[in-house]
Amino acid sequence: MAGSPGPLFLLLFLLLCAIGQISAQWKPTWPAYRLPVVLPQSTLSLAKPDFGAEAKLEVSSSCGPQCHKGTPLPTYEEVKQYLSYETLYANGSRTETQVGIYILSSAQGESAGKSRRKRQIYGYDSRFSIFGKDFLLNYPFSTSVKLSTGCTGTLVAEKHVLTAAHCIHDGKTYVKGTQKLRVGFLKPKFKDGGRGANNSAVPDKMKFQWIRVKRTHVPKGWIKGNANDIGMDYDYALLELKKPHKRKFMKIGVSPPAKQLPGGRIHFSGYDNDRPGNLVYRFCDVKDETYDLLYQQCDAQPGASGSGVYVRMWKRQQQKWERKIIGIFSGHQWVDMNGSPQDFNVAVRITPLKYAQICYWIKGNYVDCREG
């Protein structure tokens, strides 16, 4: 019949449709999770801390993946205790909040040497220093900020910064300077204090503009667990600024299994101590994982601790690509791999329970924390 498509055209059309379906399936997609709810149950006042601890820009543990996987699963009451938290206010007052956990998924019960003190570089140094305001002031690099205690943090809301707990608390008390904690934002510094007549002056260099912190939240799993193997699992903290930072931030997300990450890789940027004043970006493959930790060999130096570990995946609901913070860079561990010691850098994964807790700290209600 005239005008009807021929067999070759139909075959080509079906082939293109099949290719389109296959390519769509290959998009690394953010998985949907049934999230629990973590709510405060009671709050009591604590004595003011002495702020006597020395700032530690890295932590280490000899308990590697197999050690963690062999750890007995925590009970429901233990998980509630680990997710309870301390809040420190700018005036030095402190509270402890006990939490309740509701609508738990079947995964809720999952787990919850030597130390290399100077270098966390593996072979050739694969880090990239980010230069120029066009990069430093653009997303995602603009979400990285510097803490006055020497660590890195990541903007996760209009007034909130995610970082590592050890950057402000050593497991026993708060570090020096935490009561007057500040967060630094890199901004261009122009010669003669301003722009030229044509409004196109080239900045002389970058400088930090600082905002004071209003309050901090640290999980009790870090405070009680720093002396044993669970401590690193809870090495995260949230800072609330005294005023909005007015930058684009990166949302937090539940950490997918490593095999679902695009290329099996993670990314993060931080203020490594060996490159003062520079923001340093890196990416690398995940080598191993437990329920709470990601093991990788991203090159890093002290100062990068607290960096937000992120990936970019397809958001099916909005039909767009989106980066999310799925972990917090913590430190390194010596791991016994088949009788041979091997060094890994470690990131704390944002599990469904940790997501529910951090999101509540940010939002102040659980209704806005139902999607990870």
Residues 6+ apart with CB under 8 A from 219: 82, 83, 84, 85, 165, 234, 236, 237, 357
Q: Which residues are catalytic?
A: 166, 229, 305
CB 66 within 8 A of CB 338: no
**Structure confidence at residue 104 (pLDDT):** 46
pLDDT in tens, the chain (372 residues): 445 555 554 454 554 554 444 444 578 999 988 889 999 999 999 999 989 888 877 777 767 777 778 888 889 999 999 999 999 999 999 999 999 999 744 443 333 333 333 445 445 555 566 666 666 778 999 999 999 999 999 999 999 999 999 999 998 999 999 999 999 998 877 665 555 444 545 455 778 999 999 999 999 999 976 544 556 899 999 999 999 999 999 999 999 999 999 999 999 999 988 888 888 898 999 999 999 999 988 888 888 999 999 999 999 888 999 999 999 999 876 666 666 767 788 999 999 999 999 999 999 988 888 876
CB 314 within 8 A of CB 308: no
Put simply, whether the predicted model's pTM sits higher than 0.85 gets the answer: no
| 210-263: pLDDT as tens digits | 999 999 999 999 997 654 455 689 999 999 999 999 999 999 999 999 999 999
Residue 217 token pair:
């939240």
| Cα angle 39, 40, 44; round to 5 | 170
